[in-house]
A and B are shown apart, each in its own frame.
Chain A
Amino acid sequence: MIEAKHIKKQVKTEEQTLTILEDVSLFVQAQQTVAILGASGCGKSTFLAILAGLDNPTKGEVYLDQVLLNELSQDQKALLRAKLLGFIFQDFQLIASFTALENVMLPLELVGNKAAKEQASYWLEQVGLSHRLKHYPKQLSGGEQQRVAIARSFINQPKILLADEPTGNLDQATGHKMIELLFELNQTQATTLVLVTHDQALAQQCQQRYRLEHGTLQIQDD
């Protein structure tokens, strides 16, 4: 489902060229669940962005559902994302002028799905926010915002879900519930899950665990 081959990522800053990812390869089968761990600043978010086609690797290839991302234009990637991908951003990226409900509806609205509102209310209920539909991100706590972001990533029932620290802001109980939801999705919709997390407990529930260190990815055996 996801295949990354020898990904290298360098960014040029004013003074020097910074190598964030040296040589990273990853293979994830359909419906598999994978956790990526690593110290802060080691390049996890960068790697996830490359998998999602938001960022281009300096070297290496990414296949999503057998499609080689490198060959696609920005626009084609956008369409592929709409079809295939769900993404939970580390800092949520909710739209400030939209209510919680509208934020969740957005991916479906953009493709003209009529059921956007029902779906969105359903998923917001699933994340326990059915009473906050009309509230703006500003009015929500960090954890609540994160749950909205999670609901949004579920709504187009993606085949692949990339989640950047989906439980970072949640207390244990709520975090636990969110994780349950993630895995439920994985079961019922056959969604492939790639999670970036610091949470060992969450990582343990995944079928595979990797550690990103010094620009390379290693399988982590406990």
Chain B
Amino acid sequence: MINFNLFLFIPKLLWRDWRAGELHILVFAIVVAVTSIVAIGFFSAQLELNMQGQVSRLLGAPFIVRSMNHPLEARWLLQAEQQQLTISQSLVFASVLSTEQQLHLSDVKAIDDNYVKQIDIRIAPDFDQVAIKTQSPPKSGTIWLEERLFYLLQANIGDKVELGYRELEIAGVFVYESRQSRSWWMISPKAFINRKDVASTKIIQPGSRVTYDYLFYGDKSNIELFRQWLQPQLSSSQWILTEKNIPRALNSALQKARDYLLLASLISVILAGVAIAIASQHFSRLRWDQTAVFRCFAYRKRDVLVSYIAYFLLLSVISSSIACGLGWLLHWVWLIWFKDFLLTFALIPSWKPIVVGIGSGIVVLFGFSLPVILQLASVPPLRVLRSHLMPLSISAIGLWLSAIVTVFILLWWYSQHFLLVFLLFVLGFGLLLLLLAMSSIGLISLKAIVNLSSGSFHWALLRILRQLSWSLAQVLALSLVFMLVGLAWFVKLDLFQGWQQQLPSNTPNYFLINIQPFQIEQVKQFVATSQINATDFYPMIRGRLIELNGQAIKDAIPAKAKNHNVLRRELNLSWASKVPEHNSLVQGKWWSDDISEHWVSVEYKLAKTLGIELGDRLSFRVGSEVITATVKNFRQVKWDSFYPNFYMILSPRILDQSSITWINSFYLPPKKQLLLKQLSKQFPNITIISIDAIVHEVRQILQRMLLAVDYLLLFVLAASFTVLFATLQASLAQRRTEMKIFHLLGCQQSQLQRQLWWEFLILGIFSGILAMLVTEAVIYGLYTWVLHWAFHWHPWLLVLPVLTVMSLMLGVRGMNRKVLSAP
């Protein structure tokens, strides 16, 4: 039977303990820990919201359905309208545009009124005039053309072009569209017409290749409902556009940012764990005498259990609720700072941080204090007479195990990323324990110099050795905190460096495609003489992958790869005699001069997905010809760079030289733009594609993220130092009585102080070195197995021990005044 009176008593008890100051450290630890979880959670949620905003801006809408060759069913659109969604449509088909002099293939996009309301399309009335955002689609009977189409068709504003059965008047120069598709460097020149004119061209017949895009706008929850309703009904030629459909450079930048946010939040949760663990240990000591008195009166074992569970529950709910409020406020302060960078923000971007915050406040506190509560229940009442009577000692292993398991489950649940959490634990924690075992040997070996030492140093050493388990616990806690600091800091540095490398100032902003074999030498010369920063020239031909080891490709690959894009369309094949720039070999060798066979080099990830192995034979259909080559090696490709990238590169001289064209990309600074005109005059057939806009866009987004992540790091750091402070406070509080007694017995304050300094200096050095080693190991694991970033050594990690010792000394300095001056 449960004694319900307890539930009235517990809040009083809580209040009295608080009033007496016994709870301050614990509450402080919980509040700081949960505040940082909540603030980081909210902040990440806002960033996520913004990333989604960016993505849907680039895609054109929060929800887009693409349908190949057939429009969506009318009743679906009706359903969307019933759910208060606005729909805008575009359809794209490839068709020949012709003037009297010329004809050229282009991608024609038909748009409606709604489309221009939602999408930023910039049109210039004529060349050399400023492009402005258009408010309406092309008037019926008119067409907008991309600049290079004017050259290709030798047309001017006001001229007529033929599109199917329809004659249209050229009414503007298309300059920019905020929607960015992924395959920006393979597209034909663009033309825009009004949606209403499509029928009159009579181009679209059953069976013609048309891409229908349906862009849905409206309330988030309505869109979500509609998505859930629609998704199961889509056919195989209809799909939802997602992040994968935005330019890779951006997609990968966003992904990296997300990975970092996740890591930072995990770090904040672990920090919380450390803080609460230390504080609750400290706190439980204070409970022993009290519990013994309770047991002398009416308390049964069960009452002790129930009341401390209620006690801790209440404690954690109250402190985490306060922390939630604080966390929200903190994140709000950030937002105000950040206002100019944000596309959108929400008052409460997500409830998850609150759930996670309160949840981890409760879960962590219980994980760490349940063993302590069990221990309290075993406090014998006789302790009131014999204060040396201890409660049953709980096994340290049990305590750690329960704590580790709790935190592990919490993190796993929170991140949904088993590998990441597993790695943090096994590498971070496991290694730390291992090193700790080693350093305990190190500490013990200090015994040898105890007798040689003298003064405060001697006493400090003695104390460390006498309380070896306490000292090791300190080292563990400190090195854990500083490992997390190191992790957050150095991963951020790498993230930034990666982003900067991804878009150096000479990132290519133009592509030249369709260079004919007979022109290649001249073009190379042109590039050389005009001192343009260009990539190598790559030959390019389109071909379809049809067989793997003589078996039809669809049957030869794993089932889950069957829908891979690569199988649906023709690939750009290239060949090279050396490894292309910005590519690196992952497996196998380059062919160099070995031309005994036809070789192919395959992009590493694709090979993995399709289950291709070294030595396999791949067949491609190129035009009417079939080429078969043996897989020689796997390459890693920087998809997020703006260079020509290829899934498949063949060894030279396999392909028929006549049907190929060449491609390259280069960076053209604004002041050299005139070269473009020269280039197109000299080589009119070459297509020049500007990706200036997208490079600019990506760069801008990265810059925002950079700032955001910097602030996040600041917060992680602030949280760590507060945890450090809590740790020190807890361990110094234990020293208070002891130091007072020593002082009364005649020890000089300055001597005690020096001893304390030495002690923490020794512990600090040990923890700092441990933290440094473990950080590097965890970074290695993270990059290799989870994030797939390139690992390199971090010599600057040497700063970590210095930082540890310094901040420890500062902390002790601040705290120890209090210790010594306490009454």
Q: Which residues of B contact A54 (CB under 8 A)?
A: 296, 381-382, 384-385
Inter-subunit contact B12/A136 (CB<8 Å): no
Fill in one digit per residue for B88-106: 1 if any A CB lies within 8 Å of its CB, else 0. Answer: 0000000000000000000
Judge if B796 is at the interface, Cβ distance under 8 Å.
no
Judge if A107 is at the interface, Cβ distance under 8 Å.
yes
Chain A interface size, under 10 / 10 to 19 / 20 to 34 / 35 or more: 20 to 34
B4, B290, B296, B300 — most chain A CB neighbours (10 Å): B296
Known: A89-B385, A112-B4. A78 touches B17 (CB 8 A): no
Fill in one digit per residue for B1-18: 1 if any A CB lies within 8 Å of its CB, else 0. Answer: 001110011001000110
Q: Which of A74, A89, A93, A97 contacts B17 (CB 8 A)?
A: A97
Inter-subunit contact A110/B385 (CB<8 Å): no
CA of A49 to CA of B294, assembled, Å: 15
Q: Which residues of A contact B294 (CB under 8 A)?
A: 106, 110
Give residues of chain B (379-407) contacting chain A, Cβ–Cβ below 8 Å.
381-382, 384-385
Q: Which of A74, A111, A136 contacts B298 (CB 8 A)?
A: A111
Inter-subunit contact B5/A111 (CB<8 Å): yes
Give residues of chain B (1-54) contacting chain A, Cβ–Cβ below 8 Å.
3-5, 8-9, 12, 16-17, 19-20, 22
Judge if A87 is at the interface, Cβ distance under 8 Å.
yes
> Which A residue's beta carbon lies closest to that of B384?
A93
Inter-subunit contact B298/A107 (CB<8 Å): yes
Q: Which residues of A contact B299 (CB under 8 A)?
A: 78, 110
Q: Which residues of B contact A78 (CB under 8 A)?
A: 295, 297-300, 303, 381
CA of A74 to CA of B295, assembled, Å: 9
Judge if A95 is at the interface, Cβ distance under 8 Å.
yes
Q: Which residues of B contact A81 (CB under 8 A)?
A: 296-298
Fill in one digit per residue for B303-323: 1 if any A CB lies within 8 Å of its CB, else 0. Answer: 100000000000000000000
Inter-subunit contact B17/A110 (CB<8 Å): no
Judge if B301 is at the interface, Cβ distance under 8 Å.
yes
> Which B residue's beta carbon lies closest to that of A46?
B385
Inter-subunit contact A79/B300 (CB<8 Å): yes
Give residues of chain A (39-96) contacting chain B, Cβ–Cβ below 8 Å.
45-46, 49, 52, 54-55, 74-75, 78-79, 81-82, 87, 89-90, 93, 95-96
Give residues of chain A (103-158) contacting chain B, Cβ–Cβ below 8 Å.
106-107, 109-112, 136
Judge if B302 is at the interface, Cβ distance under 8 Å.
yes
> Which B residue's beta carbon lies closest to that of A95?
B290
Q: Which residues of B contact A109 (CB under 8 A)?
A: 5, 8-9, 12
Q: Which residues of A contact B301 (CB under 8 A)?
A: 74-75
User: How far, in Å, is B17 (CB) from chain A's closest CB?
Assistant: 5
CA of A159 to CA of B331, assembled, Å: 61
Q: Which residues of A contact B3 (CB under 8 A)?
A: 111-112
Inter-subunit contact B298/A82 (CB<8 Å): yes
Inter-subunit contact B8/A112 (CB<8 Å): yes
Q: Which residues of B contact A112 (CB under 8 A)?
A: 3-5, 8-9
Inter-subunit contact B19/A97 (CB<8 Å): yes
Q: Which residues of B contact A46 (CB under 8 A)?
A: 385
Inter-subunit contact B298/A97 (CB<8 Å): no
User: How far, in Å, is A53 (CB) from chain B's closest CB?
Assistant: 8
User: How far, in Å, is A80 (CB) from chain B's closest CB?
Assistant: 10
B5, B17, B19, B385 — most chain A CB neighbours (10 Å): B385
Q: Which residues of A contact B298 (CB under 8 A)?
A: 78-79, 81-82, 107, 110-111
Inter-subunit contact A110/B16 (CB<8 Å): no
Q: Which residues of B contact A93 (CB under 8 A)?
A: 289, 292-293, 296, 384
CA of A99 to CA of B3, assembled, Å: 24
For the complex of A and B, the 10 pairs showing the least CB-CB separation, nearest first, are A112-B5, A97-B20, A82-B298, A75-B300, A110-B298, A93-B384, A107-B297, A78-B300, A54-B381, A54-B382
Beyond A55-B385, A81-B296, A93-B293, 13 additional pairs, beta carbon < 8 A: A54-B381, A54-B385, A75-B301, A81-B297, A81-B298, A93-B384, A95-B289, A95-B290, A97-B20, A98-B20, A102-B12, A109-B8, A136-B20
A and B contact pairs by CB, cutoff 8 A, 25 listed = A49-B382, A54-B384, A74-B301, A74-B381, A78-B299, A78-B300, A79-B298, A79-B300, A82-B297, A89-B384, A90-B385, A93-B293, A96-B290, A97-B16, A98-B16, A98-B20, A106-B297, A109-B5, A109-B8, A109-B9, A110-B303, A111-B5, A112-B3, A112-B4, A112-B5
